[in-house]
Amino acid sequence: MRGPRFFALLTLGAAFGLFFAPSRTTAEEWSTIKGQVVFGGKQIPPPKPINVDNNQDKQHCLSKGPLLSDEWTINPANKGVRWAFVWLAPAAGKALPVHPSLKEIQKKEVEIDQPCCKFVPHALGMRQGQVLVAKNSAPVAHNINWTGLKNPGGNVLVPASGSFTIKDLVPDRTPVRLSCNIHPWMLAWLRVFDHPYFAVTDENGKFEIKLAPAGNYHLMTWHEAVGYGAGGREGVPVAIKGGADTDVGNLELKPAENP
């Protein structure tokens, strides 16, 4: 027969079990951050045509029409800026909490292609631990030249229908510059992060960062034509409330020559 001591131990064990039980992840702890990066100047700069007249692959490069620079890609209907990086940053010396479903990297490869004398996409983000596959789906040779601060860089020929995998890229305070020496106007940008909370703006300048942690953080923006956007290197404060979307509205990119 079980005595009072047994039930006392059982009650004590249950109490300890409750005390040390792992915390549950609830929807109230996470949010989707939404917003739009918009051009803040007076006049939208027109797309710049690229001159390929002196290049040996001119016929292929122009096979789908004239080439235009991607430095400024702006939707005139809403002033949305494409190809801007947006990411979440914690307070100094702290790490971002990461949603359990995002801790493990599911997709190990991130791809960039060179189909018609331009990089596609023009800007992309990746997590540390992923690899960048530089493809060449064109019928002519390209090369991939990558340079950064903490990333030592390299320069590799990529033959027609070939590819090259770049490994061991690390987070840095500046993006990795991607170029092709055979077609010197070709340029793209890559940022490497140690967390999953980043995005690149779409054709309307819009972005979405899912399953971001609730709390007070900073939202950073960077674009090749102006560098850091709203808030500069500190970004803009953002209070993320779990259980609902966090809409930060418009984030302006205002070039100095176009106040």
Residue 254 in domain: yes
pLDDT tier for residue 24 given thresholds of 50, 70 and 90: very low
Those residues whose C-beta lies under 8 Å from the C-beta of residue 225, and which sit 6 or more positions away, are 71, 72, 253, 255
Residue 139 has pLDDT above 80, yes or no: yes
CATH number of the domain residue 250 falls in:
2.60.40.10
Cα(190)–Cα(122) distance, integer angstroms: 9
Cα(206)–Cα(200) distance, integer angstroms: 8
Residue 31 in domain: yes
Residue 159 in domain: no
Q: pLDDT higher for 17 or 73?
A: 73
Would you state the pLDDT for residue 258?
A: 44
Instruction: State if pTM tops 0.75.
Output: yes
Would you state the pLDDT for residue 257?
A: 63
Residue 6 has pLDDT above 90, yes or no: no
Structure tokens at 174: 């500046």
Q: 3-state SS string over 90-151?
A: CCCCCCCCCCHHHCCCCCCEEEEECCCCCCECCEEEEEECEEEEEECCCCCCEEEEEECCCC
Residue 182 in domain: no
pLDDT (mean) for 245-249: 97
Q: Identify the domain containing residue 215 by its residue range.
A: 25-44+79-99+196-259
Cα(143)–Cα(170) distance, integer angstroms: 21
Averaged confidence pLDDT in the chain: 90
Residue 104 has pLDDT above 70, yes or no: yes
Report yes or no: 86 and 209 within 8 Å, Cβ to Cβ: yes
Report yes or no: 219 and 88 within 8 Å, Cβ to Cβ: yes
| Phi/psi-derived region of residue 243, left when phi > 0, alpha when psi is between -120 and 50, beta in every other case | left
Backbone angles phi, psi at 131, to 5 degrees: -120, 150
Residue 194 has pLDDT above 90, yes or no: yes
Residue 68 in domain: no
Residue 134 in domain: no
Would you state the pLDDT for residue 14?
A: 47
Residue 7 in domain: no
pLDDT tier for residue 153 given thresholds of 50, 70 and 90: very high
Task: Work out how many domains the chain is built from and give that number.
Answer: 1
Residue 259 in domain: yes
